[in-house]
Amino acid sequence: METRRIDPVNCSVARALSVVGERWSLLIVREALDGASRFGEFHSRLGIAKNLLASRLDTLVTAGVLRRVPYQEPGDRQRFAYQLTEQGHALRPTLLALLEWGDRYLADPQGPSVIVRHRPDDGASTCDAPVRVVLECAAGHDHLAPEDVHRTPGPGARFVDTPSS
């Protein structure tokens, strides 16, 4: 007897990891979110080998996470800065979720090295409360426990037959 299941090859998680799953990629995005934009800034902040940094930046540019923007200092040759695209900025919640997980399970005994806080855009109000990632459904139910969510086929699902045990 065979059962049908969603084909794991047609998976958005796998596609996302093909872009940001390489070592250093999300750390480059983290640094870009914190204001780094030039090759030398990424290199000095991360301590990554220059050839690996160049490769990861190329991957992120090709995938549309970063864009290259030419600049030229007086008397120097043209160089490129790297700016986050909309796709790149949209990775912030992913980084926050990884940070929360790391803080919960891997932080030093003294506690986390970084606390992400709310800074309202309007500049007039103050909050500064710690930020956390919250699971919420489209009906407005929030603070869902991880075990309260499950995967169902979406409109792009492909199915494969698998032998039943």
Q: What tens digit of pLDDT does each residue of 78-105 get? A: 999 999 999 999 999 999 999 999 999 9
**Domain-located, residue 138:** yes
**Domain-located, residue 164:** no
d(CA 76, CA 54): 20
**Domain-located, residue 157:** no
**Domain-located, residue 14:** yes
Could you list the residue range(s) of the whole structural domain that residue 21 is in? Answer: 2-151
pLDDT in tens, 143-152: 999 899 998 8
**Domain-located, residue 141:** yes
Find the CATH number of the domain harbouring 146. 1.10.10.10
**Domain-located, residue 156:** no
Report the number of distinct structural domains present in the chain.
1
Residue-by-residue DSSP string for 56-101 = HHHHHHHTTSEEEEEE--TTS--EEEEEE-HHHHTTHHHHHHHHHH
**Domain-located, residue 89:** yes
**Domain-located, residue 163:** no
Comparing 120 with 26, the larger pLDDT belongs to 26
pLDDT band at 133 (very low <50, low <70, confident <90, very high): very high
Comparing 123 with 139, the larger pLDDT belongs to 139
CA dihedral of residues 54, 15, 21, 29 (deg, nearest 10)? 60
